[in-house]
Amino acid sequence: MPSTDSPPGADKWVPPDARELDQLKAAAADCQGCELYQDATQTVFGRGAAHARVVFVGEQPGDVEDRQGLPFVGPAGHLLRQAVDDAGIDPATVYITNAVKHFRFELRGKRRIHQTPGPAHIAACRPWLVAEFSLLAPELVVLLGATAAKALLGPSFRVTRSRGQLMPWPAAAQHPEDFPVAQIQALATIHPSAVLRADDRDEAYRGLVDDLKVAAGALAA
Ligand code: URA
Ligand code: SF4
């Protein structure tokens, strides 16, 4: 049933004393911080290097991710891995997660059609991102698309205007106190799904790789 009440949020499910990402992942499997757990198959938590130098944040799991329980394992993930490689970022230094950890979709017949998560879902799920960051302590965060950028930089951030630029983070966030992590850098770019949807895929892909090369440069510096 649609409701205008804001969901309770994930706070209650985040173990306050977690020391490892696996503990967070296990706890997130039970999260009911918003209604998205009801129709999705499972929580899709982040994955990657525990001592990652760079954290990629996407929007939410897609259809394939929802079934497999792993982030970025579908077509967008395939493209992202290729772009990371072409930009010269070592995949062994990467952790990949999403702003929202359950798949939001609309059923049309038997097809599950992706629906963009709303501000209430992003806010409800933010405690998991905060917890991931507090254990990961990366040097750089790469925001893939508008949902991730809004989740970490505030609702007025525009990817199209500011993509490919290094910014201080969480200083640039709307509420830096939400993220009690060391000062690192952030860079926003387009979502790999936007490349897949683009009229000129080659051009869009080159743009994504060019932005990621800025990230690679920051890691090399
Ligand atoms: N798109 C995302 O934003 N995240 C995924 O995990 C897959 C597709
Ligand atoms: Fe919890 Fe996030 Fe899933 Fe909502 S989307 S139920 S807050 S894990």
Question: pLDDT tens, position by position, for the chain (221 residues)?
Answer: 455 578 999 999 999 999 999 999 999 999 999 999 999 999 999 999 999 999 999 999 999 999 999 999 999 999 999 999 999 999 999 999 999 999 999 999 999 999 999 999 999 999 999 999 999 989 999 999 999 999 999 889 999 999 999 999 988 887 888 887 888 999 999 999 999 999 999 999 999 999 999 999 999 98
Q: Residue 60 is which amino acid?
A: Q
Helices (H), the chain: 21-28, 63-68, 75-87, 119-136, 145-153, 159-162, 192-197, 201-220
Q: Which ligand is nearest to the CA of 65?
A: 1
Instruction: Please tell me the distance from the alpha carbon of residue 81 to that of residue 85, in angstroms, as a whole number.
Output: 6
Domain range summary for the chain, segments of one domain joined by +? 11-220
* pLDDT given for residue 173 in this prediction: 82
* pLDDT given for residue 71 in this prediction: 98
CATH fold, domain 11-220, is Uracil-DNA Glycosylase, subunit E (3.40.470)
Q: Which ligand is nearest to the CA of 60?
A: 1
Residue of 42, 55, 59 to mutate, ligand 1, most atoms within 8 A of C-beta: 59
* pLDDT given for residue 2 in this prediction: 52
Atom of ligand 2 nearest to the CA of 117: 5
Q: Which residues contact 87 (CB under 8 A, 6 or more apart)?
A: 209, 212, 213, 215, 216
Nearest alpha carbon, ligand 2 atom 4: 34
- Tokens 């990467």 belong to 94
* pLDDT given for residue 4 in this prediction: 56
pTM: 0.96
